Amino acid sequence: MLGLDIVLVWMTYFMAQLISANFQWVSVRWAHLPQRAGLLTLSYLIAFFIHKSYVGVVRLSGSKDFQRLFLSTLTALVLIIPAAYLLTLYQFSRVTLLVQSMLFLITSVGGRLAVRSLFLSLQLRKSSKGSGILIVGAGSMGRAAANAIKQESRQIETIIGFIDDNKSKTGKSVNGIPILTLEKALQKDFIEKNNLGKLVIAIKNIPASRLKEISNMAIELGLQVKRVPPISNWVNGELTAKQIRPISLEELLGRDPIQLSYETLNGFIKGKTVLVTGAAGSIGSELVRQVMKQDPKLLIALDQAETPTYQLDQEIRTYPNYSHFKTIIADVTDEYRMAYVFDQFGPQVVFHAAAYKHVPLMEENPGEALKTNIHGTRIAAKLAYESKVESFVMVSTDKAVNPTNIMGASKRAAEHVVSYYNRQPGNQTRFVTTRFGNVLGSNGSVIPLFKKQMEEGGPLTVTHRDITRYFMTIPEAVRLVLEAGHMGQGGELYVFDMGNPVKIYDLALNVIRLSGLEPGRDIQIIETGLRPGEKLFEELLADGETTKATHHPKIFIANAQNLSIEQIEGMIDDSNEDSTKWLNHIKEYQPDI
């Protein structure tokens, strides 16, 4: 490239001489032409070495390469023009030098563009199926994605076009790549003609609903969908092709994640002793992570499962404030062990996430569900009440609404227990409950199950084609729990605005398509029938319950119907630990179970 650019310098200088002489051969200043050409060549060589204009791969030339050529030309002019003034003997023409610089810039850039265009054209003809790429977003992030993909020389892929909703951009081009409308780009004929296989979303703040719409359209047309990570995650401020990741199933829910302020929460947690029960579970472990970031005096992670608790401890060891962390192996139904924990550490804030949650298992083992979910909650809440804990937050579930299974009924009973202690005379603890739907990615949830079934080659199983569920991510769920503990004054039952429910069957379709496979052809989806106690549709409010607003537009307080003090006292009598009696109490207030 260095040699070719030097040849271009000679050729354009000779052409500039002819232009200056109005193409009159006899008028060209032939005297000292070799000396002038030699000095010009030296000036350009110095400029080329300074700006490294020759290091780019021609077929992948882009804006940075063209910028280097411009700076090299400018530097060469700065070097040669003083020589033109000083060496009058060589009869330099400053006009000729300016014309030469413009000609060189035009031919060098144009030549690189021509080579790139020819290479891409040949590459597109010879490339494998699905090598064409569309980039959603023609802004700075989209251009960065295009450059990153082109610089990845090992990839035999071609950027066919940008997609942008801005009508003032459509019809134009970026570095020779056309800007298209979504409607034109996602046409079956256009996809087949251009050998399209991927769609990369490169928009900084794209609404979740728009992200879902574009992704679903692309997935249904057989395109792989990827997304550019936030700029804050780029390595040294630059994007690489390897950082462009496949879109996640969570992003296809079409719901903007609920954002909460950690500045206010920091005062709620900072410098306090915090107890998390069920700390090794999906919600509990994320609670531990987020609480540790808020500088507690001490965080006690309590769980009965040894291995996951050990794994959590190994993870938290990497935190700078690990010395403020302690693990406790204990069962929440063991009142003596729990009393020791409260007496020994004196927690000021308690997050009660310990519970059994799998509906079919609890239908087969109702006594264990009742003992852990109700009796365990009673023990934790009673100790919090007696210890004058500042705040007690229980994690509940939408399955507690009009429950049709043992797990849901036991969690509804646990809600009554928490409400009972909040209403005790002289109570100084703020008892609150959070109720939300299914958590994506939690242990035993449908997404890990689908992924495991995909690894095994299918089929994917759904209990019913029309079954729907509300979904949220684990970080969102934990933010709700933290916010509830912060804002709750005592007695509230917080619920989410979780958007629209999602069909489990649609989730299964997307899991298959995101893997680049075709549902029904490559992977089958089969219905297994509703399990005992399983609902077709989940609810966030029970019959007769209403909500009232809070300071956050996505969080509401349910006006829950509480049992009387006398009714609950019968349920939580210390001697009433026998599973049969527990079940009779639940059936008394939930006759459909």
Gap between the Cα atoms of 467 and 227, Å rounded: 29
Are the beta carbons of 213 and 225 closer than 8 angstroms?
no
Determine the Cα angle at 345 with ends 325 and 343, to 5°. Answer: 155
Q: Which two tokens stand for residue 550?
A: 């809070």
How confident is the model at residue 481, as a pLDDT?
83
Q: How far apart are the first and last CA of the chain?
A: 80
b/e code 531-563 from CB counts within 10 Å (16+ = b): eebbbeebbbbeeebebeebebebbbbbebebb
Structure tokens, 287: 């609670």
Helix axes 376-386, 406-422, angle to 10 degrees: 10
HEC states along 364-385? HCHHHHHHHHHHHHHHHHHHHH
Per-residue pLDDT of the chain (593 residues; tens, 9 = 90+): 888 888 888 888 777 777 776 667 666 666 666 777 777 788 888 888 888 877 776 666 667 777 788 888 888 888 877 766 666 555 667 677 788 788 888 888 777 777 777 776 666 555 555 578 888 888 888 888 888 887 765 556 678 888 888 888 888 888 778 888 888 888 888 888 888 888 888 888 888 778 888 888 888 888 888 888 877 767 666 787 778 888 877 777 666 666 655 555 556 888 999 999 999 988 899 999 989 988 899 999 999 999 999 999 999 999 999 999 999 999 999 999 999 999 999 999 999 999 998 888 888 888 888 889 988 999 999 999 999 999 999 999 878 777 878 888 889 889 989 999 998 888 999 999 988 776 666 655 677 788 888 888 888 898 888 887 767 777 777 887 888 888 888 888 888 766 677 788 888 888 887 777 778 888 888 988 877 666 676 655 545 555 676 766 667 787 766 666 766 766 665 434 555 565 665 666 555 55
Element (H, E) at 3: helix 2-20
Dihedral sign from CA coordinates of 523, 524, 525, 531: negative
Please give the helix or strand (H or E) that residue 531 lies within, else none.
none
Three-state secondary structure call for residue 75: helix
Active site residue 399: yes
Cα–Cα separations (whole angstroms), residue 138 to 6, 168, 205: 35, 11, 14
Fold of 262-438+472-499+540-589: Rossmann fold (3.40.50)
Q: What is the DSSP letter of 117?
A: H
Count of CB atoms within 10 A of residue 312's CB? 22
* Span(s) in the chain for CATH 3.40.50.720: 128-247, 262-438+472-499+540-589
Residue 219 CA: distances (Å) to CA of 168, 242, 453, 502, 504: 27, 21, 20, 17, 17
**DSSP string across 555-589:** EEEE---PPPHHHHHHHT-TT---HHHHHHHHHHH
Q: CA torsion, points 497, 288, 359, 547, in degrees to nearest 10? A: -20
Catalytic residue among 198, 272, 382, 399: 399
pLDDT attached to residue 273: 95
- Look at the pTM and tell me if it is higher than 0.75: no
- Composition of the chain by helix, strand, coil, percent to 5: 50, 15, 35
CATH 3.20.20.60 fits 128-247, yes or no: no
The number of helix segments (H) and strand segments (E) in the chain equals 21, 22
Judging by DSSP bridges, how do beta strands 468-469 and 460-462 pair with one another?
unpaired
Ordered DSSP codes for 426-449: T--SEEEEEEE-EEET-TT-HHHH
Of 113, 12, 105, 135, the C-alpha closest to 61 is 113
CB 215 within 8 A of CB 250: no
The residues with which 558 forms a beta bridge, in sequence order, are 547
Q: Which residue, 555, 416, 551, is CA-closest to 480? A: 555
CA dist 564 and 385 (Å) reads: 19
How confident is the model at residue 344, as a pLDDT?
94
